[in-house]
Chains A and B, each alone.
Chain A
């Protein structure tokens, strides 16, 4: 299951990434393996999404979210 498949309010724990380049950026922003992520909201037009991670809010496109595999 990937992050992009979660609904608003649902939580998941990061397991791994499918895209190495993206994973470096995402990890720097606090999306690390073992970290809990909650979907805060989805943009009015359906993309991007906002997630709650490492104590702050991060927005990313659905495509980027689809590279995050959850436990």
Chain B
């Protein structure tokens, strides 16, 4: 779609910017990245009343155009970057009408850049209810810009906003807010002169931000650096002077235009809720109850749609194999592509549910309270209050949890959270654990109520949390902080969740996951399919020939014959060859080549282990039936000694491997997507595999 006008939405966090964006653009939105950076670029199109189309860009929420995080540095780059034609024709600054003072700081900064501005005075219903009286006309007159009172939640004033956008001026008409030039007269004059800039505030911003603004040439940046030294320009002092001047302007403005009661009604209600939700004891009890609920919901609510999706793919596979003539292409389609796709799609319910719940927690304002309560504990181990939610979400699936770490502003805290989240025992490990525990741990009660198998499973879950915390603690000392660790955070008033937003988040994140992680997992499953389906030379043909002899066809049922052939083909396939190749490496962990194949194939996804075991031990009947896999594994013996393969030591060694190793293509893909650098998933893969190997080795030799 081609847009006639480009409009950027700018505002503080918690002002309803995203809600407005969703209303203006509907489902017609796209998430990409700003050129050269990892920050999400949300754009969409909006039909204006005069028939033109506006491209709406949702910029990250920020309190000021002086960036504190990578997300925030985008705002100035986009507004100032004339070279890359990202600069908007019009900026809609969204102000929270019930919190004008702090919100106006960003407006005054934007206004002084002299880009045409429209103010959307959001939550006007809330502020009116709280008894705040704003003289909108005077407000607009004093600033010299159109001011539209709206309520994005109640969808009020949106049409008026659209027509204001349509008929907005092409030239900036806003009043100056402060006298910018007195802050640093010489350097501003010099930069204006050198770089041919006519806007003094823009020149001042370049003095502050020339290091992070990408379109300046090295010479230009060096030139500004020299000017800073020449005029002894101190960025932070200048910022302080500027901020005080801006607040003086804002106080004057508000004194004339806004009448406010002593305490806002909303705030007192919020305070009462906070007394309970951040209470010394109840606070934590409620928090853990909510976590338990999320945990439960992800498991129980997702079970039904997940099995539906699985069934759908099994049905699709059967259609493909029934209707199309058998051959390698059909096999690739059904066992490679469709199997891979089902591996991706099956996570959608968990992703959708987790994100719905997380966005409800965020929308209501509860998430910032969790951060508030947990910050001290989490800080000790190198994490952040906001890391709690991804870690808990990791019990379901690391993929959506890693995507949810974007709420963590601090770079180091976020990276550590991403690095340790896959250690938390996700739902894909569950089938592996239950299978192996059932194999070697007796189903017996100890101390009356505790079941030995249940205890073993609980231990695996506890181990995962303990290891995540320990690794985080180690990484705290390895990773170098890029920015000073702040914890200056708004605690927004409690509000009802915006259900439409919740829906958008669910849809958005699921779509992103399917598109991004999907590509990788399909590629991996195709590779695995090739490895399992082909063998060097004519090995497969010879196996077929061998089993077509009458001594086999007469003594065995066709079904079991097929199983034997499949198992022998697997052994000689490239995957089998790989299994034999890596056997010396995994022997110290107590694994043989068959387990080796399972390890390799389940590097794409852990749950593949059970299926691979089923194929390798040529299970009778249904391959997905747990009992039969278990029985076969139980009776599996080593060919040389006749001893059982799956001893207590081997089973626990395997579980350790699955607990620590990063066997999940989706996670690798999503870590890459979130960090935009292969170094992170590579480092994660390396440390987790090393940890897995060490843990397996130790456990095997202790239990042997």
Contacts and interface: CB of A to CB of B under 8 A. Distances in A.
> Chain B: interface secondary structure?
helix
A57 B491 contact: yes
Interface string A39-71: 011011111101010111111110010000000
A24 B239 contact: yes
Interface residues of A, number: 32
A28 B490 CA distance: 12
Contact of A60 (B264, B270, B275, B487): B487
Contact of B487 (A32, A41, A45, A48): A48
A54 B100 CA distance: 9
A25 to B, nearest CB: 6
B101 A43 contact: no
Which interface residue of A43, A45, A54 has the most chain B CB atoms within 10 A?
Answer: A43
A1 interface: no
B66 A58 contact: no
A30 B280 contact: no
B410 interface: no
B101 A28 contact: no
B484 interface: yes
Contact of A45 (B63, B102, B244, B377): B377
Nearest to A47: B376
18 contacts: A20-B237, A24-B239, A24-B240, A25-B486, A27-B247, A29-B488, A29-B490, A43-B372, A44-B278, A44-B373, A45-B377, A48-B375, A54-B102, A55-B100, A56-B267, A57-B270, A58-B490, A60-B489
Contacts of B490: 29, 56-59
Given A28-B66, A44-B280, A54-B102, 10 more contacts: A20-B236, A22-B486, A25-B486, A55-B99, A56-B267, A57-B490, A57-B491, A58-B491, A59-B490, A60-B488
Contacts of B567: none
> Chain A: interface secondary structure?
mixed
Contacts of B279: 44
B382 to A, nearest CB: 15
Contacts of B260: 55
Contact of B278 (A23, A26, A27, A43): A43
Nearest to B235: A24
B243 A27 contact: yes
B105 interface: yes
A55 B96 CA distance: 12
B102 A41 contact: no
Contacts of A40: 271, 274
B488 A58 contact: yes
